[in-house]
Amino acid sequence: MINEDLLKKLDFEKGGGLIPVVVQDATTKAVLMLAYANKEALEKTLSTGYAHYWSRSRNQLWMKGETSGHTQKIKAILVDCDYDALLYVVEQKGPACHTGNKTCFYSKL
């Protein structure tokens, strides 16, 4: 069930039409990646149950795993307290990172 009141509060304009999306594995709780969603990407995510994002480099909508098969099935979507960031809790199929790593956060600073 989608909370329509909360959905209306999302502030896409603060990020120039995009909201950052932190992606977390539902089982391991590991942070898998950071991506961005516009309204269309979020609507597609909500309607299909699979993570969709806006590619800033390609300037287009994309579904995670559309070419690799490494999809992200949505288990929950949480909104931060300022309504300008999302947390997708997902069932990750295969590695999340395009490098082949399980998570994009594998390098220590």
1, pLDDT greater than 80: no
pTM over 0.85: yes
| Residues 6-54 pLDDT 10s | 889 999 999 999 999 999 999 999 999 999 999 999 999 999 999 999 9
**Token pair of 81 as six digits:** 């307290």
Closest Cα partner for 64 from 84, 87, 36, 39?
A: 36
| Residues 86-97 pLDDT 10s | 999 999 999 999
- Backbone phi and psi for residue 34, each to the nearest 5 degrees, phi listed first: -125, 135
* Average of per-residue pLDDT values in the chain: 95
* Percent of the chain residues past pLDDT 90, beyond the cut: 91
User: HSE-up of 50 (CA within 13 Å, CB side)?
Assistant: 13
Delineate the domains of the chain, giving CATH numbers in brackets: 4-92 (3.10.20.810)
| Residues 48-75 pLDDT 10s | 999 999 999 999 999 999 999 999 999 9
